[in-house]
Structure 1
């Protein structure tokens, strides 16, 4: 499947909400325990737009949203301003069709265009498919934290991977 990747619009909020909640209820891709409503996702979307952060969707031939992706600040301290952490969500029945890869590659392009230096992935240590995908895309292991999260009555470990997006130094004596 060759998905069409485009910028999300407010019309995509219901589908984004549904995909997010599916992961909350059924996976450890997302470590939140509570679902959200469309108002929450509209506020989230507006915040991303205000901050100039991308929200991308993968859609099928009839423009139905099959997945979405975004990135945001890795940490809020100014020294981390060139580093982003990304999130990719794919509708259950659409997994395994290359959508996660396509969305991640599109986010990498957007991060490079925005002058970002590093993209971080924080992945449930049991999510071998996502870890493998990121390794194939050039991400390298950057660390592991054991038992730092919990969901479904068990402790969860997180694996950090990173991709250096450019070879340039910070430049401008850190003022940018």
Structure 2
């Protein structure tokens, strides 16, 4: 998509649009293993944790300034030995899926993680999310494990795949 701009997001300017995208994913997909819609208070805490951890939040915007999708990464696990591994997430508005938004966000998130000195980027992906699995494979992520029956949503058990990209730093 030609008229796409990638830039950093802030709570004040973008949390409302991001909340809509999160809640659509929660209510209608298996991309998030959550049941209840998030609130603006949750978004405030989410942005605060990203700021505290020096984790970027980036958005893809169309030429009208509308948020098409966003991405971030954060702590993979709590223990200090995991400090060079981060888990990323990418969410695209239903209105813009299939238009290359996730590709542009992924390119940027990989660059940012590399620049910050991380060695591994981890994606936790529901096995039903074929679009996300293909996206990760296109960027050279490798499947490093599947947790069967990891989650239960929409009256069925869900399998969670872990994909890893070793970053060249």
Q: Which one of the candidate residues 86, 89, 95 is aligned to 1:87?
A: 89
Whole-Å separation in 1 of the counterparts to 2:143 and 2:91: 21
Give the drift of 1:37: 1.3
Equivalent residue number for residue 30 of structure 2: 28
| TM-score, length basis structure 1 | 0.92
- Structure 1 residue runs of 4 or more that deviate by more than 3 Å after TM superposition: none
Equivalent residue number for residue 123 of structure 1: 125
- Are 1:12 and 2:14 counterparts? yes
Unpaired segments ≥5 residues, structure 2: none
Post-superposition Cα deviations, 1:102-128, rounded to whole Å, max 9, x if no partner, equal: 111111011001000000111001111
Equivalent residue number for residue 70 of structure 2: 68
Larger radius of gyration: 1
Matches within 5 A, 1:93-172: 93-166=95-168
Give the drift of 1:51: 1.6
Give the drift of 1:49: 1.0
Whole-Å separation in 2 of the counterparts to 1:42 and 1:66: 20
Give the drift of 1:43: 1.8
Give the drift of 1:145: 0.9
Equivalent residue number for residue 174 of structure 1: none
Whole-Å separation in 2 of the counterparts to 1:151 and 1:20: 16
Whole-Å separation in 2 of the counterparts to 1:36 and 1:144: 27
Q: How many residues align?
A: 167
Cα root mean square deviation, aligned: 1.0
| TM-score, length basis structure 2 | 0.96
Give the drift of 1:39: 2.0
Unpaired segments ≥5 residues, structure 1: 168-176
Post-superposition Cα deviations, 1:68-109, rounded to whole Å, max 9, x if no partner, equal: 111001111111100001010000111000111111111101
